[in-house]
Amino acid sequence: MNRTKGTVYAAAMLLVLVVLGLFGTVSARQWDLAVTIGKEIDFIARDGNLTGSMVITNTSSFVAMAYDDDTYTLFLSDAGNMEHSIVSVDLTAAKNITAKPLLKRDKDSQIQSMAFDGASRTLFWATEKSIAKMKLPLNGPPGQPIVVRAFVTESLRAIALDVCNRQLYWVNGNRSRQSIGRSQLDGSNAIIVANESLYETSSLAVDHWSGRLYWLDDEEGIHYKVEQSELDGSGRAILVHGNHHQPIHLGVDKERVYWTDYVSNAVWQIGKESRQGDAPRRFWSYLKTGEQADLTTLLARDNLGSGVDCRAMKAELARRKLQQQKSTESKSQRSRDELDRSEPSFSNLTTSSEQLRPKNECSGQGEFDKVIGTCRCKSGFSGSRCEISPCHNYCLAGECQVNSRGLPICSCGGSRSGSRCERDACDGYCLNNGQCLVENGKPSCECKYSSGARCEVTLEMAEICALFCMNRQFQMTGIDTASCRCSELNQTIQEVLGYDSFNCQIIVPLLSGFVGMLTIAVILLSFYVSRLKRRPRIKKRFVVNKTGITPLTSRPSPGTDSQQCEITIENCCNMNICETPCFEPKLRASSNGRNVTGGSNGTKKEEKSNLLDHMEVGPGHGC
């Protein structure tokens, strides 16, 4: 019986261990989107539910991320790690999740972006001036880093892999020559995919479902856009054109495009088949944290590793190419039909393509060049039809005009200032609740409870400045003394006091010495008074007969003569502190006019008689 119970218990424990082991593996699978926030990683399902979160304790701030779906390993670039620039995290670990060093830090560069190729088990990463790679075999140590491409004038922002066509994409963030490039995985056959109408491209991704390229562009001003194109850069189209976002990183899955936004502390999404005018939707928000979240990179899992279906991607590319060919042939047929229906020319000659080109193909800021077949734009204007003005999203307020050199000039007006009207002249100008007014483009302040050009001097501040200016060694912890006008204050003090120098280094020690002497005197007086309070009282006890006939030798007994009594007299006439008033008995005068101070018995009797004569009779007084 006991053996049976032991067998059942062992089986139950084995089942628990198996379940726990499976749970650890399943937890590494149950996520669709990974987002990095500082040194924290959130794992979110496609329906918007948080499936897990982890904090890597031995890290500081992640700026790039890649994922190996075969080993459930995350590769992270840690900006604050002074020893290693790339670390790895095993998502199957149930406890004690720590980062494992993978690549030592290069002192000359910071890793901007990463991507992992599961087929060759190669990790790619980009610094500002180069793209490098490293083999990560399943068994054994990682390989040596190899530079794939080096750049001179470019400033790399992000990279992406097309694992199906074995191609590498990158973003050049150089302001003067923004571009998106492409090459083979070994860096050969490099070409420029797009280089027009790019402002500040921050991230890109290859969609292995549709065979398209997506990227984020933070336009000048408050606008941004999400663009898409074919893998060769053709067929560009704007998916989202919005404002008040600062997009950071982008990812795509089978149906949607996601991006992180620094302004709203959120992750946004929009469908890949959205129509023009559709607004993006907030997918996940970090506003509830109450602080500015350090959102950086994100990954859409089904567009990586085992989630990629290269056959489906190539079939989609072939379908779109066939559809494009049919559309082109249809347009050509319609053009031929229109030519056939048109009236013949006067000379019965075929009209050339130059004569058929519409004259208004270029906008008003350019002219069509028949020789090269493109528009020649005026200075500053760009675009295939010269439709992009230099003023596009340039001025944040006011009006924009293009000068003779093709440069945008902003006329701000009102309270705005700056080359792009980006600053409010009154923003933070008046202090201490002063009211700001703008006259001729310059701000001025109307102060209520303070003074100064910016209302920077309050009553309390004036006192603090007086102390600071009189003694520069006086420490003002946590107080800004930059607004204290010490030269003017010292000059005023000199005029009031009538002498040339005002030296606090002499006055302060004198005052300190005087206060110290007063303190010592108070302590001494307190000690003397306490001694006087503890001085013993001097008392005398008399047992007398009021008639003075029979002196008593003992305390009267009850029932005896009522004229007998006992009195206690306190001698308080020698500067003693006592409770009863002082009584000085009259001294017996001698026959020659001098007082008798001797100690005779007659003198003592007379003193007793005098005391009894002047004694108050009543309760508590003896007789």
End-to-end CA distance of the chain: 106
pLDDT band at 455 (very low <50, low <70, confident <90, very high): confident
Residue pair 226/239 in contact by the 8 Å Cβ criterion? yes
Alpha carbons within 13 angstroms on the beta-carbon side of residue 592 total 2
**Predicted local distance difference test score (pLDDT) of residue 186:** 93
Q: Which residue has better confidence, 82 or 9?
A: 82
Q: Could you tell me whether strands 366-369 and 435-439 are parallel, antiparallel, or unpaired per DSSP bridges?
A: unpaired
Q: Could you tell me whether strands 50-55 and 40-44 are parallel, antiparallel, or unpaired per DSSP bridges?
A: antiparallel
pTM of the model: 0.53
Residue 228 is classified by DSSP as: E
For residues 237 and 160, give the distance between their C-alpha atoms in angstroms, rounded to a whole number.
19
**Predicted local distance difference test score (pLDDT) of residue 474:** 53
31 contacts: CB under 8 Å, gap ≥ 6: 43, 44, 45, 51, 52, 301
Q: Does residue 469 carry a pLDDT above 60?
A: yes
**Predicted local distance difference test score (pLDDT) of residue 127:** 92
Q: Which residue has better confidence, 297 or 402?
A: 297
Least confident among 99-103, 190-194, 447-451: 447-451
pLDDT band at 462 (very low <50, low <70, confident <90, very high): low
Burial of 568 (0-12, 13-18, 19+ CB in 10 A): exposed
- Which of 70, 86, 67, 89 has its CA nearest to residue 78? 86
